[in-house]
Structure 1
């Protein structure tokens, strides 16, 4: 394997910012430097990284502002003024990353090495690579003297990975004035990729996200000495029955309009044999056997889009190896389909499945976003992708994960899209690199994405 750097550091000004040379505007160079800041959350400590970004943008003459409820975890707002012909457009990105502890990495996770045409490191995909695309596009516009139709706002935030309290939530609750007039926003795609690259090159455009509902479920029963057979009414027995009741992963089939549209367009985008399977699933989502032959990860993803899901993830209980526990708590990761489904409806379905007499405590509740729209701005995103990759196929997608988009849409009414333009080979599934060891992204994919963002922001597609 060949390991390279993008070259010597560009000259810096007093603020530590890179100059406006071609290298200083390179998405690869920017992504390398972002990765080299260890912003693992928790604890986050994103200040040094955010200040570096500010230095780069200030050095280019782009207006920036820092606001924070925790000085160790600041938010940055940058604005590139436009001609006033369109409403402001929001780009939002987070600089915190998930931990690497306990993972076996082939290369150092914070070195930002380029090896065999790929940039390695935590955050390469989620989402420092995408932030580098955004920054590179803004810097290119500034250097070329291009003025967008409307203001471009870049919000760089901490804390997306653990709840957004000091990041996007703080911004929308304490500083909504920064986003006055914004109708549309672009953020990360939440890992929305289908794994069908060997059939067609799909460009996902996320139009909706599933909503988080995390629940603690407690089972109780008589205790006693563990040298004796456990009672049938014991906590362990009741836990076993709960786990069996949710082993399918879902709470019943629910066909929503946005998922129906996605499956319809996906079926049309794929070759006939594969497309027919997708169409059969669309018409009968209760029978996942029609998807036989597709990748297992793809099947699980599609099945997760036609039902509220619930997954057992964390278990607490017991006081000693020789004591039958009297109480066991199970944490469940619930995800609610987009639309008007309420938390109460989700909990009712869950109680019907696990047992109405069990204690359920909702401890994380995601925001209820407005219904998704496929409108003219979606068409602009698709047009950029089609112009840059005529053989690629833009596709409206629903993601099972949630991002900061939920806060901008639910609190400010902004229509949010997840858009990470990537062009890559059929064997690369970026979704499978999210939060995983050896996270990496192709240099060509970063450059393609930066070109797409520049075309969108400058209106040159």
Structure 2
């Protein structure tokens, strides 16, 4: 361990390169070698570490930075697994971790080995500078986030909840990146996420021989339902977080865009305004103002010449945190009618409200470095391990500050070919997390 270079915290891009070079594609994950590498850095710096595993090949790593006992613990956590890079056309090999054109390229560069690199670098720096924060800092490197967390956060919450004792606040993914509107730079700090909800819709109709015309078959009913779901938006809902976000944006941009954004908060105008701003913002704001569903799979029919009497459509639904699965069911019925059976098959409720107690502190850190930047709170449409930690009453802030150039779409780059992060963002992001550790008071 003495040969381990803990000064790597001064070179977070190199740390990230090393993490990317571990292929932790999930499935199967195989996060153990990466965890052992992080462990080697932490133990060489003097941290005591613990491995907690449901499967030895897929361990989670936990350590503590001792505080002064003046505040509750702060949790830093992130996942080590990544989605597949197969069948994608990459400019550079996805697990090479190459630096080119001012970026670190590779699978996990954004989601979320960059965050692990920032957190580990911050902890190594804290140890090197003998920083003793107000409260303990708990760090968790977790596995299996990309496929639900059964071996990672879900396992830890169920089997080892004691490691989260007294934790109220946490820092993790998926926010902190920048977005430009009207030439203004906004930093998006995640404070909530939508609930994931899977649904099955089964349609029934007459069956028979494929050579005989059959009207109103189950297949045709499903087709009509798909057209309705494609052509109609679900109702508008405005949460407190989204209202705050949109009001902040509107107050910093010029006309007529400012008026367009204000009118997003008028449910009678919301959808019209979304179309007006779409050229500049894409679909970013749409899922923050609606529940959404996407058709994922279809099951029906067994032979080419037999009209099936039953067809099932599988939906991926995302529900705003102020609503629940019953609300989504009612909205689906209002769109496609009652002539079907709707079954909710999986509903993972996230935190219904957001505790913004740390938002000002996290914002001030960013503004201290960039006085003209504008931090805003956001709800994200994806699911993260935050939903699992929320079961213990923990408020997670997605706060991995990533300064992206104007025109670079974070969400379009995650899970895609040529995932990459600006090298300079690793330095500013690491500094921001280190500052959060210093300033945190509970």
TM superposition score category, shorter chain reference: over 0.9
Partners in 2 of 1:406 and 1:286 — Cα distance?
31
* TM-fit CA distance, 1:459: 3.1
Aligned residues: 440
Q: 2:272 aligns with which of 289, 292, 295?
A: 289
Aligned to 2:170, the other structure's residue is in SS state strand
1:252 and 2:240 equivalent? Answer: no
Cα RMSD for the two superposed structures: 2.1
Partners in 1 of 2:203 and 2:267 — Cα distance?
35
Deviations along 1:17-44, one digit per CA (max 9) or x if unpaired, are 73222x3542111111111111111121
Partners in 2 of 1:228 and 1:103 — Cα distance?
44
Could you say which residue in structure 2 is the equivalent of 1:334? Answer: 317
Work out whether residues 217 and 361 of structure 1, in 8 Å CA contact, stay in contact via their aligned partners in 2. Answer: yes
Could you say which residue in structure 2 is the equivalent of 1:37? Answer: 22
* TM-fit CA distance, 1:443: 0.3
1:50 and 2:35 equivalent? Answer: yes
1:417 and 2:397 equivalent? Answer: yes
Work out whether residues 195 and 295 of structure 1, in 8 Å CA contact, stay in contact via their aligned partners in 2. Answer: no
Deviations along 1:153-192, one digit per CA (max 9) or x if unpaired, are 11111111111111111111111111111111111026x8
Q: 2:349 aligns with which of 367, 373, 389?
A: 367
Q: 1:434 aligns with which of 404, 411, 414?
A: 414
Could you say which residue in structure 1 is the equivalent of 2:209? Answer: 225
Work out whether residues 197 and 425 of structure 1, in 8 Å CA contact, stay in contact via their aligned partners in 2. Answer: no
1:298 and 2:281 equivalent? Answer: yes
Q: 1:234 aligns with which of 217, 233, 236?
A: 217
* TM-fit CA distance, 1:293: 5.1
Work out whether residues 195 and 319 of structure 2, in 8 Å CA contact, stay in contact via their aligned partners in 1. Answer: yes
* TM-fit CA distance, 1:360: 2.4
Partners in 1 of 2:412 and 2:182 — Cα distance?
15
* TM-fit CA distance, 1:288: 2.6
Could you say which residue in structure 2 is the equivalent of 1:405? Answer: 386
Work out whether residues 308 and 336 of structure 1, in 8 Å CA contact, stay in contact via their aligned partners in 2. Answer: yes
Work out whether residues 78 and 155 of structure 1, in 8 Å CA contact, stay in contact via their aligned partners in 2. Answer: yes
Q: 2:333 aligns with which of 325, 346, 351?
A: 351
1:76 and 2:61 equivalent? Answer: yes
Could you say which residue in structure 2 is the equivalent of 1:318? Answer: 301
Partners in 2 of 1:74 and 1:283 — Cα distance?
48
Partners in 1 of 2:80 and 2:128 — Cα distance?
24
Could you say which residue in structure 2 is the equivalent of 1:383? Answer: 364
Work out whether residues 44 and 159 of structure 1, in 8 Å CA contact, stay in contact via their aligned partners in 2. Answer: yes
1:393 and 2:367 equivalent? Answer: no
Q: 1:211 aligns with which of 195, 202, 213?
A: 195
Work out whether residues 193 and 431 of structure 1, in 8 Å CA contact, stay in contact via their aligned partners in 2. Answer: no
Work out whether residues 253 and 286 of structure 1, in 8 Å CA contact, stay in contact via their aligned partners in 2. Answer: no
Work out whether residues 182 and 253 of structure 2, in 8 Å CA contact, stay in contact via their aligned partners in 1. Answer: no
Work out whether residues 144 and 152 of structure 2, in 8 Å CA contact, stay in contact via their aligned partners in 1. Answer: yes
Partners in 2 of 1:103 and 1:228 — Cα distance?
44
Q: 1:268 aligns with which of 218, 228, 251?
A: 251
Could you say which residue in structure 1 is the equivalent of 2:4? Answer: 18
Work out whether residues 178 and 404 of structure 2, in 8 Å CA contact, stay in contact via their aligned partners in 1. Answer: no
Q: How high is the TM-score relative to the length of structure 1?
A: 0.90
Q: For the structure 1 residues 324 and 32, does the alpha-carbon distance in structure 2 shift closer, same or farther, using more than 3 Å as the test?
A: same
1:140 and 2:100 equivalent? Answer: no
Query: What pairs up with 1:171-210 in 2 under 5 angstroms?
Result: 171-189=156-174, 195-197=179-181, 199-210=183-194
Deviations along 1:225-252, one digit per CA (max 9) or x if unpaired, are 33443x2221220111111221146421
* TM-fit CA distance, 1:258: 2.0
Q: For the structure 1 residues 47 and 164, does the alpha-carbon distance in structure 2 shift closer, same or farther, using more than 3 Å as the test?
A: same
Partners in 1 of 2:410 and 2:426 — Cα distance?
12
Partners in 2 of 1:116 and 1:173 — Cα distance?
44
Partners in 2 of 1:85 and 1:396 — Cα distance?
27
Aligned to 1:450, the other structure's residue is in SS state helix
